[in-house]
Amino acid sequence: MYQIEEPIYFYYLAIIPVIVVLFLLAFWWKKRTQKKFTDNALLEKLAPNKSTFKAVLKLVFLVIGISFLVISLVNPKMGTKLKTVKREGVDVVFALDVSKSMLAEDIAPNRLEKAKQIISKIIDKLGSDRVGIIIYAGNSYPLLPITTDHAAAKMFLQNASPDMVSSQGTAINEALNLAKTYYNNDEQTNRFLIIISDGEDHQEETKQVAQNMSEEGVKVYTIGVGTEKGGPIPIKVSGSLVGYKKHKGETVVTRRKTEVLEDIANAAGGRYIDGNKTEKPVDFIENLIANAQKNEFETKQFSDYKDQFQWFIGIGIFFLLIDVFFLDKKTKWIKKIDLFNEQ
Res. 256 pLDDT band, cuts 50 70 90: very high
CA neighbor of 284 nearest in space, from 293, 274, 296, 294: 274
- pLDDT for 195: 94
Mean predicted confidence (pLDDT) in 65-82? 83
pLDDT band at 22 (very low <50, low <70, confident <90, very high): very high
Q: Which residues pair with 136 in a beta bridge?
A: 97, 140
Q: What pLDDT, in 10s, does the model give residues 89-118?
A: 888 999 999 999 999 999 999 999 999 999
pLDDT band at 333 (very low <50, low <70, confident <90, very high): low
pLDDT in tens, 205-249: 788 888 988 888 889 999 999 998 999 999 888 878 889 888 888
What are the boundaries of each domain within the chain? 2-75+308-337, 87-298
What's the maximum distance between 2 C-alpha atoms anywhere in the chain?
102
| Length of the chain counted residue by residue | 343
Question: Which of 106, 96, 136, 100 is closest to 276 using CA atoms?
Answer: 106
User: Thinking of the domain 87-298, which architecture would CATH place it in?
Assistant: 3-Layer(aba) Sandwich (3.40)
φ, ψ dihedrals at 338, nearest 5°: 50, 55
Residue range 67-86: mean pLDDT, rounded: 78
Q: Is the pLDDT of residue 283 over 90?
A: yes
Q: Cβ-count burial of 172 within 10 angstroms (0-12 exposed, 13-18 middle, 19+ buried)?
A: buried
Question: What is the rounded average pLDDT of the residues 112-135?
Answer: 93
Residue 254: strand pairing partners: 231
Q: Specify the pLDDT at position 83.
A: 65
* Three-class DSSP category at 265: helix
Poorest-confidence range of 31-40, 163-172, 314-323? 31-40
- At 338, is the pLDDT very low, low, confident or very high (cuts 50, 70, 90)? low
Q: What's the rounded Cα separation, in Å, for the pair 102 and 96? A: 10
Strands of the chain, DSSP E: 2-4, 76-89, 91-97, 130-136, 140-147, 191-197, 218-224, 231-232, 234-237, 240-244, 246-247, 250-251, 253-254, 272-274, 295-307
Mean pLDDT value of segment 61-68:
92
Read off the pLDDT of each residue in 77-84 and give the average, rounded to a whole number. Answer: 68
Query: Strand pairing partners for 302?
Result: 82
Rounded to whole angstroms, the Cα distance separating 171 from 205 reads: 10
pLDDT band at 75 (very low <50, low <70, confident <90, very high): confident
Cα 62 from Cα 322, distance rounded (Å): 9
The number of beta carbons lying within 10 Å of the beta carbon of residue 279 is 9
Which letter, b or e, does each residue of 236-261 get, where b requires 16 or more Cβ atoms within 10 Å of its Cβ? Answer: eeeeeeeeebeeeeeebebbbbbebb
Closest by Cα among 178, 151, 152 to 96: 178
Q: What is the pLDDT of residue 323?
A: 82
Partners of 273 in beta bridges = 223
Summarised one tens digit per residue, pLDDT across range 23-33 is: 889 888 887 77
Exposed (0-12), middle (13-18) or buried (19+): which is 192, by Cβ within 10 Å?
buried
Instruction: Check: pTM over 0.85? Answer yes or no.
Output: no
Q: Is 70 exceeded by the pLDDT of residue 55? A: yes
